[in-house]
Structure 1
Amino acid sequence: MFQSLSLLPLLGIFAVAAAAIWVAGVQLSNTTDVLSRRLGLGQALGGVILLAIATNLPEIAITASAAASNNLGVAVGNILGGIGIQTLVLVALDAFGMREKVSLTYKAASLTLVIEGLLVVAVLIIAIMGTQLPGSLVAFRIGPDALAIALVWMLGVWLIGRANKNLPWHDSSGDAPDTQAEPKGHSQAETEQQATDKGRSTARTTFVFLIAAIVTLVAGVVLERAGDGIADHIGMSGVLFGATVLAAATSLPELSTGLTSARAGDYQLAISDIFGGNAFLPVLFLLATLISGQAVLPQAQATDIYLAGLAVLLTSVYLAGLIFRPKRRVLGMGIDSLAVLILYAIGTAGLFAIALGKA
């Protein structure tokens, strides 16, 4: 249906779908906070999984839609490109979300966040390794690479849960001195309290969560189909479009909720949500394999592998920032955020150079 439309209607449909994802994504985040608190999930395994799924529903919808239509290039590009774009969200949080005149990583520094960032790096490295496997390694619609990513993610989430409870360090919380005054996740408790004060029951919150999830899933499918048509009209490959414009559109909820957390002084939660979402995204390769029946990662193009490497690089810069805690701000942001912004700009230029070189 979308392929028969001209460029202007496709752009309008894409914009409406992106706006729907923004609005529904904010509701998903708020209701997830409330449900996690009321159901006693909190920072436990169930709460982390619920949050990861809720914040990545647009990517889930796009991956499922692309895999079902055998458009695996868009699925891979959106997953790996989404990690780079969502890491870039931290630059926006550093520049526009800080209440104090210090860098984001200075106030958020925590060993738990370092573990979360290392999990992102781990699943990305497995994804890169998976691109070199033969495509015939599929049994019962499952590939060993996608399965390994899912298992490592589950193990990493369990370790993060352990780290949130206690670490064998002088400060068992793993937080550096002079970080945020309130504990990680205090903004979630405030969201739940506001919902209670307004008389919003758990049943009503669950209903809003389900409606927002449905809207997000439908909008995600529309976004992928309209985006595919736009890419054809402007002569842009589906991989490049999925890794840039499409990935940016699906990252809008993370930007909104991240700014809310940062402005509330919950800097650790702001970074944790981004790292948590990024670590979960490669798990969607398992979903794509189950739906398509094909080994997805062995079909990855050079641009996909390049994007995975870029995401590892950007995450590593923030890991260094969490350890060295640069306090000084340059051009309104921390030095690490400025480095990420520059590296992403250079990396994107390299991405287009690879695409043009293969044209």
Structure 2
Amino acid sequence: MFAQLSLPILLLIFAASAGVIWIAGVKLADTTDVLAARLHLGKALGGIVVLAIATNLPEIAITVSAAASGNIGVAVGNILGGIAIQTVVLVFMDMAMKERKPLTYRAASLSLVIEAVLVVAVLIVAIMATQLPGDLIAFRVTPGALAIAGLWLVGIWLSGRASRSLPWHDSAGDAPDTQEEPKGHSQGKKDKAAGHSARVFWVFGAAALATLIAGVLLERSGDAIADHIGLSGVLFGATVLAAATSLPELSTGITSVRMKDYQLAISDIFGGNAFLPVLFLLAVVVSGEAVLPSAQASDIYLAGLGVLLTCVYAAGLIFRPKRLFWRMGADSLAVLVLYAVGVAGLFAIATHG
């Protein structure tokens, strides 16, 4: 149906869907924070799983839609491209800082470094899984996708332990001169301003439904747009589509920064990035195909780019740069340059591949 529509109509559908994801995604993230506070889910393993699923509904909708329609390249590109571009979201959060110090300086914490290591770990396993035989699949499940999901669960358990206590001089693993209030204090403030619980549940449900529907429309219209303009599904999924689904993270992250909950702002990005490769398991179940062994060179390249950008911010959290360059820290500037160079390389791969 979408392939028969004209390009202007497709662009309108895509823009409208992105707008819905922006608005509904922000409401979803806010109500998720409130529900986490009221149901005491924040530090529980099951709660983290629920929160990860809720805050990644646009990516889940796109993955299911793409896998069901056989567009594996779009699904893989959106997952791996989403990690890279959501890491770049931290650049804009850094620029939104009201203080004259970079984001990583004020958020520096060992627990955040552990979360960054988890992102790197799941991406490395995803890269390793691309080299497994394509026929290594049973009951619509592949060992690579299962390994990623298992590693993610172990990783968030370790992250939860790290956020409670570490065997360091500061048991929370926080550096000196970081944020004054504890991580997650903005969730409590949102809770107080949210009103009755019944209303919060209704808003959460409506936002989740709107996000799912908009995510499917975004993927279908985006795939048709890519065909119209001659852009590969991998490139479109890794750039335009991934950018559209990152809009809620951008808005909620800037809100957290302005509420001086710097650690939560970074944790939300790392947490979402660590969860995204778990969607490969969902893509395998829906499509019935071994998704990762069919990955292209551009997919592996994107995974490497995600690892590189995450490592830059992990180093920033450890070394805590103080100088600002054009309202951003040295780590954010490096990430912005590396991402630009990385996207140029991605186009070179797609053009000459």
User: Shorter-chain TM-score: what band?
Assistant: over 0.9
Q: Secondary structure at the match of 2:172?
A: coil
Q: 2:46 and 2:68 mapped to 1: Cα distance? A: 28
**Retained in 2: the 8 A contact 1:99–1:265?**
no
Q: What is the CA distance between 1:164 and its match in structure 2?
A: 1.2
Q: 1:43 and 1:100 mapped to 2: Cα distance? A: 29
Which residue is equivalent to 2:111?
A: 112
Q: 2:327 and 2:290 mapped to 1: Cα distance? A: 44
Which residue is equivalent to 1:272?
A: 267
Which residue is equivalent to 1:151?
A: 150
Which amino acid letter does the alignment assign opposite residue 292 of structure 1?
S
Q: 1:292 and 1:42 mapped to 2: Cα distance? A: 32
Q: What is the CA distance between 1:55 and its match in structure 2?
A: 1.4
Q: 1:183 and 1:281 mapped to 2: Cα distance? A: 27
Q: Deviations over 1:87-141 (max 9, x none)?
A: 0000000012x12101100000000000000000000000000111111110111
Q: What is the CA distance between 1:45 and its match in structure 2?
A: 1.7
Which residue is equivalent to 2:162?
A: 163
Q: What is the CA distance between 1:323 and its match in structure 2?
A: 0.3
Which residue is equivalent to 2:91?
A: 91
Which residue is equivalent to 2:74?
A: 74
**Retained in 2: the 8 A contact 1:64–1:288?**
yes
Q: 1:122 and 1:31 mapped to 2: Cα distance? A: 30
Which residue is equivalent to 2:213?
A: 218
Q: 2:241 and 2:44 mapped to 1: Cα distance? A: 31
Q: What is the CA distance between 1:266 and its match in structure 2?
A: 0.4
Q: 2:68 and 2:345 mapped to 1: Cα distance? A: 30
Q: Deviations over 1:275-295 (max 9, x none)?
A: 000000000000000011111
Q: 1:117 and 1:48 mapped to 2: Cα distance? A: 16
Which residue is equivalent to 2:41?
A: 41
| Equivalent of residue 302 in structure 1, options 297, 306, 317 | 297
Is 1:350 the equivalent of 2:345? yes
Q: 1:54 and 1:39 mapped to 2: Cα distance? A: 15
Q: 2:99 and 2:128 mapped to 1: Cα distance? A: 41
Identity over aligned residues, as a percent?
A: 72
Q: Deviations over 1:194-219 (max 9, x none)?
A: 11xxxx32222112111110100000
Q: Deviations over 1:216-247 (max 9, x none)?
A: 00000000000001000110001100000000
Q: What is the CA distance between 1:142 and its match in structure 2?
A: 0.4
Q: 1:303 and 1:180 mapped to 2: Cα distance? A: 39
Q: 1:171 and 1:47 mapped to 2: Cα distance? A: 26
Q: 2:214 and 2:123 mapped to 1: Cα distance? A: 27
| Equivalent of residue 256 in structure 1, options 246, 251, 258 | 251
Aligned residues: 353
Q: What is the CA distance between 1:15 and its match in structure 2?
A: 0.3
**Retained in 2: the 8 A contact 1:32–1:50?**
no
Is 1:292 the equivalent of 2:291? no
Unpaired stretches in structure 2, ≥5 consecutive residues:
none
**Retained in 2: the 8 A contact 1:2–1:10?**
yes
Q: Secondary structure at the match of 2:302?
A: helix
Q: 2:302 and 2:286 mapped to 1: Cα distance? A: 23
Which residue is equivalent to 1:63?
A: 63
Q: What is the CA distance between 1:160 and its match in structure 2?
A: 0.7
Q: 2:32 and 2:265 mapped to 1: Cα distance? A: 15
User: TM-score of the superposition, structure 1-length normalised?
Assistant: 0.97
Which residue is equivalent to 1:245?
A: 240
Is 1:329 the equivalent of 2:324? yes
| Equivalent of residue 229 in structure 2, options 234, 248, 257 | 234
Is 1:207 the equivalent of 2:206? no
Q: What is the CA distance between 1:52 and its match in structure 2?
A: 1.2
Counting only pairs closer than 5 Å after superposition, residues 169-180 of structure 1 correspond to structure 2 as: 169-180=168-179
Q: 1:204 and 1:253 mapped to 2: Cα distance? A: 21
Which amino acid letter does the alignment assign opposite residue 103 of structure 2?
L
Unpaired stretches in structure 1, ≥5 consecutive residues:
none
Q: What is the CA distance between 1:47 and its match in structure 2?
A: 2.9
Q: 2:330 and 2:10 mapped to 1: Cα distance? A: 39
Which amino acid letter does the alignment assign opposite residue 269 of structure 2?
I
Which structure 1 residue ranges, 4+ long, deviate > 6 Å from structure 2? none
Which amino acid letter does the alignment assign opposite residue 131 of structure 1?
T
Q: Secondary structure at the match of 1:225?
A: helix
Q: 1:185 and 1:270 mapped to 2: Cα distance? A: 9
**Retained in 2: the 8 A contact 1:110–1:322?**
yes
User: TM-score of the superposition, structure 2-length normalised?
Assistant: 0.99
| Equivalent of residue 315 in structure 2, options 301, 307, 320 | 320
Which residue is equivalent to 1:191?
A: 190
